[in-house]
Chains A and B, each alone.
Chain A
Amino acid sequence: MNVMDNRATSAMLYLDGVHVSFDGFHAINNLSLTLAPGEMRAIIGPNGAGKTTMMDIITGKTKPDLGTVLFDGVTDLTRLDETRIAELGIGRKFQKPTVFESQTVQDNLLLALNVDHSVKGTLFWRGSKPESERIDKVLETIRLTDARNRLAGSLSHGQKQWLEIGMLLAQDPKLLLVDEPVAGMTDVETHLTAELLKEINKTHTVMVVEHDMTFVRELGVKVTCLHEGTVLAEGTIDQVSSNERVIEVYLGR
């Protein structure tokens, strides 16, 4: 027990014995997982394994029936709502890219910036030089400088994915949850995304869900394979992909 507690206090993210069921269907089953500060972790697993649901739990969208979810060693996330969790420093990119389509690329980033998010703060907001410089920098990083005044809705699928990653950068959270970032991307874009995530990981803790094995291999980080809402295997990509149970799950379907 004591060992567990010590581990909990040093972890950026600590999940232990988490259960979630939807109308009797157990989407998450006794899920335990730990992310160290500064770590990048890839999560793989077949469709319906519960990867997105796990992110829903961490970000407060879904409340677990049982189990512990701790952030930064101390904060119990199961008692907080989405806004509060975002304020604490957990950012999320959704599986289906969700940007604010009727607003410009630039405004999407402006909305994501981690500045005063209160009603009063936004009502009396005046742009500042450091803010616009940060936006410029993010635009450059996600290669959308030329598209800054375009409506986000008019971007290509890949560009939307990047804009959403850019929003994460603007938000500058301690922990980034990235759900299927390279879905619908070309090989070149996929490669660039891997580079970008590695760059981000230099200063942030990151959890990436992805199906694309070349991409996961390129990230070169510890991999966790989920299946039926629980951890099936954990280790390097080679260890995990040679694990018999993992092969069974992926091929046996």
Chain B
Amino acid sequence: MTSHMLTRSLDRGAAMFLMVVAACGILIPLSNLLLPAGSVLQVPTYLVALWGKYVCYAILALSIDLIWGYCGILSLGHGAFFALGGYAMGMYLMRQIGTRGVYGNPILPDFMVFLNYSKLPWTWYGFDMFWFAALMVLLVPGLLAFCFGWLAFRSRVTGVYLSIITQAMTYALLLAFFRNDFGFGGNNGLTDFKDILGFNVQAEGTRAALFALSCLALIVAFLICRSVVSSKLGKVLIAIRDAESRSRFLGYRVESYKLFVFTLSACMAGVAGALYVPQVGIINPGEFAPGNSIEAVIWVAVGGRGTLVGAALGAIVVNYAKTFFTSGVLAPYWLFMLGALFILVTLLLPKGIVGAFNAWRESARERRPAAAAASAAAEDGITEPDMAEERS
């Protein structure tokens, strides 16, 4: 009975989340496009773009929660998969510029002309076609995650060691993408995009559509994560998170499970990056910075690890705070605030916002006479183990 109640309450939270995202995805673009500018209810275009960015971050946070919250894999390099998805989209957008670039070369993007490339590098083949770029958005991060995970999980690299090598991975990519001769625009990255599928990326209509698409992607990503974690596979993931070697003795091939969920998560992060780039109008190697990946993990911790909804919420709340604080006199102190936030959350809300909310609601239910004390006690433990558990 207890577990039934639990799924039901979880479902209610999930349904509410999906409804809010869907409502935003429909109403915000409509308000932006249909209402007269300056009206109180009209969402200005700059906000549509900003919120679109948050939605992409929410997808990235979901992908991290899937592996960290449910399988105990603390990746501190997920920004790399996000950035690779972004680069794949950026390359498509670059090739759409065509003769409208400064140098007017129909094939070569400006930076290649500038660097005296005689022909298009093979890595850029096919990126003039949207379907190909879209495929690469999934394939490149997925393949990297698969190879990385195959090596790491098979050698049973876990815990802090795994976190460190994921940092090393994103750092190595940062250095590579910074190089001009790597062929992806060096430290300037890719920018000056003109259009996407024939629509002007700067146009209000395109921005509104990208926002709506990002919300749709968030919904799809959420549903994928939900169905994964509520399947029997989800139970195996939690078993691996809580007692990895025990799961092996039951006959589960732990490395295959980790590899599956890590690769899936990387593909999701790639999609988030691909939606992000046309909305911010640029992708550069800075996106690979190790700090970005750490920030993304903080969003998840703040929102509530292992709750999915919390991860998405955390991404939006922390980034809203970031926008708020970095645009004022407090700007130089943002990183300190972020660090303080992380420490405070770890100490005061070890289960994040959503975890704390669940615990509060649980205790409210407990106070009600009808609820059996035993069931409340049992439910209390369902929220995820705190982060101290990472040591294994």
> Quick one: which of B194-242 are within 8 Å of A by CB?
228, 231-233, 235-236, 238-239, 242
B377 at the interface (CB under 8 A from A): yes
A154 at the interface (CB under 8 A from B): yes
Query: Would you give the shortest CB distance from B125 to chain A, in whole angstroms?
Result: 33
Interchain CB contact under 8 A, A83 and B239: no
Interface residues of B (CB under 8 A from A): 1-4, 228, 231-233, 235-236, 238-239, 242-243, 245-254, 256-257, 260, 374, 377-378, 381-382, 384-385
Interchain CB contact under 8 A, B251 and A122: no
Interchain CB contact under 8 A, A100 and B253: no
Interchain CB contact under 8 A, A111 and B233: no
Q: Given A83-B251, A150-B2, A167-B250, does the pair A101, B242 have CB atoms closer than 8 Å?
A: yes
* Contact for A86 among B250, B260, B377, B384, CB less than 8 A: B250
In the docked arrangement, what's the CA distance between A131 and B252, Å? 18
Query: Would you give the shortest CB distance from B230 to chain A, in whole angstroms?
Result: 11
Give 10 CB contacts A-B under 8 Å: A59-B249, A83-B251, A101-B381, A102-B242, A104-B2, A119-B257, A122-B232, A125-B232, A153-B381, A167-B250
In the docked arrangement, what's the CA distance between A150 and B3, Å? 8
Lowest 10 CB-CB distances: which A-B pairs, in order? A86-B251, A125-B232, A82-B248, A122-B233, A122-B232, A123-B233, A149-B2, A151-B381, A98-B246, A150-B378
A215 at the interface (CB under 8 A from B): no
Interchain CB contact under 8 A, A92 and B249: yes
Interfacial chain A residues near B231, Cβ < 8 Å: 122-125
A36 at the interface (CB under 8 A from B): no
Query: Would you give the shortest CB distance from B349 to chain A, in whole angstroms?
Result: 18
A211 at the interface (CB under 8 A from B): no
Map CB proximity to B onto A73-105 as digits: 1 under 8 Å, 0 otherwise. Answer: 000000001110011000110100011111110
In the docked arrangement, what's the CA distance between A98 and B256, Å? 22
Query: Would you give the shortest CB distance from A99 to chain B, in whole angstroms?
Result: 8
With A98-B243, A102-B381, A106-B3 already in contact, 11 other A-B pairs whose C-beta atoms are closer than 8 Å = A86-B250, A92-B249, A100-B239, A100-B246, A101-B242, A101-B381, A103-B235, A103-B238, A111-B235, A119-B253, A125-B232
Interchain CB contact under 8 A, B242 and A83: no
Query: Would you give the shortest CB distance from A144 to chain B, in whole angstroms?
Result: 13
> Quick one: which of A152-171 are within 8 Å of B by CB?
153-154, 167, 171
Interchain CB contact under 8 A, B243 and A149: no
How many residues from A make CB contacts under 8 Å with B? 37
What is the chain B residue whose CB lies nearest that of A154? B378
A61 at the interface (CB under 8 A from B): yes
Query: Would you give the shortest CB distance from B249 to chain A, in whole angstroms?
Result: 5
Interfacial chain B residues near A7, Cβ < 8 Å: none
In the docked arrangement, what's the CA distance between A48 and B333, Å? 55
A112 at the interface (CB under 8 A from B): yes
Interfacial chain A residues near B236, Cβ < 8 Å: 111, 122
In the docked arrangement, what's the CA distance between A122 and B246, Å? 17
Interchain CB contact under 8 A, A86 and B248: yes
In the docked arrangement, what's the CA distance between A59 and B260, Å? 25
> Quick one: which of A108-141 are within 8 Å of B by CB?
110-112, 114, 117-119, 122-125
Query: Would you give the shortest CB distance from A105 to chain B, in whole angstroms?
Result: 10
* Contact for A107 among B235, B248, B252, B378, CB less than 8 A: B235
In the docked arrangement, what's the CA distance between A107 and B243, Å? 14
Interchain CB contact under 8 A, A171 and B2: no
Interchain CB contact under 8 A, B232 and A154: no
Q: Given A83-B248, A112-B250, A119-B233, does the pair A100, B382 have CB atoms closer than 8 Å?
A: no
In the docked arrangement, what's the CA distance between A119 and B250, Å? 14
* Contact for A111 among B239, B248, B260, B374, CB less than 8 A: B239
Interchain CB contact under 8 A, B242 and A117: no
What is the chain B residue whose CB lies nearest that of A82? B248
Query: Would you give the shortest CB distance from A47 to chain B, in whole angstroms?
Result: 22
* Contact for A171 among B3, B242, B250, CB less than 8 A: B250
What is the chain B residue whose CB lies nearest that of A89? B251
Interchain CB contact under 8 A, B232 and A149: no
In the docked arrangement, what's the CA distance between A94 and B245, Å? 11
Interchain CB contact under 8 A, A123 and B384: no
What is the chain A residue whose CB lies nearest that of B260? A119
Interchain CB contact under 8 A, A149 and B252: no
Q: Given A101-B381, A150-B378, A151-B382, does the pair A87, B246 have CB atoms closer than 8 Å?
A: no
Q: Given A110-B232, A117-B252, A154-B378, does the pair A149, B246 have CB atoms closer than 8 Å?
A: no
Which of A104, A149, A167: most chain B Cβ within 10 A? A149
Interchain CB contact under 8 A, B2 and A102: no
Interfacial chain B residues near A101, Cβ < 8 Å: 242, 381
Interfacial chain B residues near A114, Cβ < 8 Å: 251
